[in-house]
Structure 1
Amino acid sequence: MGVNGADHLRGGADRLARGDETRTLVTGGTGFLGSHLTDLLSRTGREVLAVSRGDRADCRPDRMVDVLDRDALAAVFRDFHPHEVVHLAATSHFMTRDDDLGYRTNVDGTANVIGCVADEPLVRRCLIASSHVVANEDLFAAGEGRRYADSKRAIERLVGEWGSREKVCVTMRPCSIWGPGCGVPFRGFFERVIAGRYFHPGNVDPPKRMGYVKNTVFQMAKLLEAPAEFVDRRMIVLADDETTTLREWSQMIAEKAGRRPPPAAPEALVRAAALAGDALKLLGYRDPPIHSFRLKNMRRDSSGQSIEAIRELTGALPYTLEQGVEETVAWFKNKGAQP
């Protein structure tokens, strides 16, 4: 943990001394965000059940269930009788292409989770993850990624239309989460900077609001403990207090990795590379280093999203940007290259 992190955890554990152990079910519990959250919640005195449709060599689910399978999911709820549910299971790989199964996983899967929460009498609180992309209409104006953004908007509508007032329900919009174990797009970004192969795309460098994963799961834990009147039926953005820019961030990563600051590529070359990436995608290459959609996203100012609600709840976060970079660079150097 970073500075004050252990104190935060002990405080959470003290508040959970309720006579019997609090049971928390986490869907998507073996994913990047889910694995960090289950680790943190387990250390606060909870009994945590990680549910996932997939299996990883380094992180196995406690129950392997697809959220699209309502009957199997309901059986997990009946067996475990959770007091809390954190719904993180989602498909994100269709950010730059259409995927009907991904859309159904996000929308129908969330509907199934809400139905199981409604049917389980012991559940008192539910956190449901949406995404910061819901607020980014300009990014998806051209159509690319629209299906993914629509799935997240549909999730928020499902929560808003849920009529039950017997359960505390919170919608979360995490902002660009990164850290040890991260995947696309930040895995490639860290790998290129650490290897000295990253060039900043031109001179455009807007401020970004992002979230170090250990700060994000800390915020989620606080949402589970917060007074109901503060969080019920609210949409809360999750992000770090500090904003940064891609150039500042890449320079910090390079410094921690013992590399020179990444140079900036000429604007004409950046635009040509983006068009070449578009062509590679048309030819079936899934994830070229840069393409027009990614360049537009990199040049989007995301600092305007308000974090006042979560800041009021959590106060100081356990990790600074620099601490997060140090831990993530160390992870990539020690484990990130391992299969």
Structure 2
Amino acid sequence: MSEKLASSGPIVAVIGETNIIAIYCYDKDGNPIAIPNVYKCILTVRATEDAQTYLFRTFGTVENTGGNKDPGVIAFALYPEDTKDIAPGDYYYDTVILAKGQWFDFDTDRYKNNLIFTYQEGKIRVSGIWKNIQEGYIALTDNAVNYIEIDPATGEISANIVGWTEGKKKLYRVRTDAGKIITEWPGSDWFSQGTHSGLDFYYNAGKVLTADMELVEVSAGHITLTDNETNYIEVSDDGIVSSNIYNFTQGKHPLYIATAKAGTITSVQKIDDIDAIEDDRNIFIRGDEVTWTSKDIFQLQAGITKPAEMEA
């Protein structure tokens, strides 16, 4: 648990109303706290400051990650249902944020477009004692799914192409191909644009990376787009490239958004590459940080709407 703690002061909420609460993150000395990599925000209200149980708990969102001189901002929405069974009075609240840790992160700065997986430093408990694991690297097998894991008894990191090893902790699943680690899909080469003609959209050869990390080869080809429309170009797991004028299809892989007008393709937007490395680390292996961002009085006031009226 981080020692960072700052109070935004008491929160006042009204029973039977929708309340929007914003928490501005500062440390104890009044300095703004940036909150990058946050993936969960939790607001908990208790009857007393030290109560082991809570009256209600809700989850919020990051409105601003902060930076430079600006604090991070998290926001929560309290709905009538959250407070209708609680009497007016003074209670206590705290807010907590969870940020993704960086232990054993894939070190992209040291990766050399080969089969060497480079990882950052991390920590692991060995026989009840925290052991520092230095940054390092491990060689992977080509044209395979590599299972990268760590032995909690020794801190040794290893890889195999069979599957997860019982008793070891998961790190990553990594697909290799043609002497390289597939870090992003489809990248700049697979399914790159060819020379279009009229409404015919030409694409170069590529490979589909399926959900189970298999690769399906797709030959170069073309499809005919719909004129005077926005076309969504995608590829299925079995390698069929298609388009429609509505939106990307669930279960297929987006490639491009292309606009056609008067018999010609007028604009093409490539969809952003996706991260192709499967991160299987749990929150302890990843070193996630839990930070209290505020803790103070939660004042609940009676509103115009009575609790009984909410049941109507």
The TM-score with structure 1 as length reference comes to 0.24
Q: Please identify which structure carries the higher strand content.
A: 2
Larger Rg: 2
The TM-score with structure 2 as length reference comes to 0.26
